[in-house]
Amino acid sequence: MNDRCREPLKDVESIRHIVNDIAILAGLDENQLDTVFSVLQYMSFARGSFIFEKGDYPQDIYVILKGSVRLLLDIGGEYLEKMVFTRGQCFGETSVIGIETHTASIVAAEDTELILLSRKELFRFYKTDKDIFCMLVLNIAREACRRLNKTDEILLHYFAHLDHSDDHVGSMHPALK
């Protein structure tokens, strides 16, 4: 990612109308929101641009202001689209909290505008405003749980449609039949 494209979020009013759609900001009061808004950055990406790639070190939590992005898994050199994120949704947050490199790539599905909360600013809240830090981390954990549940549903749906007649791998436990 090119840091030269970053700029401070100048027009805070431009995001107030979607605050209720941004899960990681849930539960913050107006003063806390203003504090968070003061450290946000803005970036835009043209359709087809990679925002980050698998293996990159996580630096930011991204929220989509306009446009959409695709989460791509690299499976043996082939990309598999796992998810599409749209306005108000965030991505990159679990990598920032988990301190691991990104496990997938994100590409702009169309011209996209993002706001960013840097890892540095997130952890600065730990020192300067623990209430904001705790609420952000709690919301990130909740979002990760929602996505994990959705992934479980997808896997269960896929598993239910596999033909298991020739093998015992993945067969249902007798107590569950």
Amino acid at 25: L
pLDDT digits (tens, 9 = 90+) for 14-62: 788 888 889 999 999 999 999 999 999 999 999 999 999 999 999 999 9
pLDDT in tens, 107-161: 999 999 999 999 999 999 999 999 999 999 999 999 988 888 887 787 887 788 8
Residue 137 is which amino acid? Answer: V
| 54 occurs within a structural domain | yes
Q: How confident is the model at residue 172 (pLDDT cuts 50, 70, 90)?
A: low
Number of domains in the chain: 1
Range of the domain at 81: 3-158
Give the pLDDT confidence score for residue 1 in this predicted structure.
44
Residues 6+ apart with CB under 8 A from 135: 26, 27, 28, 32
DSSP letters for 77-125: TEEEEEEEEETT-EESHHHHHHTSPPSSEEEESSSEEEEEEEHHHHHHH
More confident residue, 32 or 177: 32
Q: Are 15 and 64 in contact (CB under 8 A)?
A: no
First-to-last C-alpha distance (Å) of the chain: 50
Is the pLDDT confidence value at 2 over 50? no
Is 24 domain-assigned?
A: yes
Residue 125 lies inside a defined structural domain of this protein: yes
In a domain, 169, yes or no: no
Q: What is the pLDDT of residue 3?
A: 46
Q: Which of 57, 87, 96, 55 is nearest to 69 (CA)?
A: 87
Q: What is the CATH number of the domain that holds 121?
A: 2.60.120.10
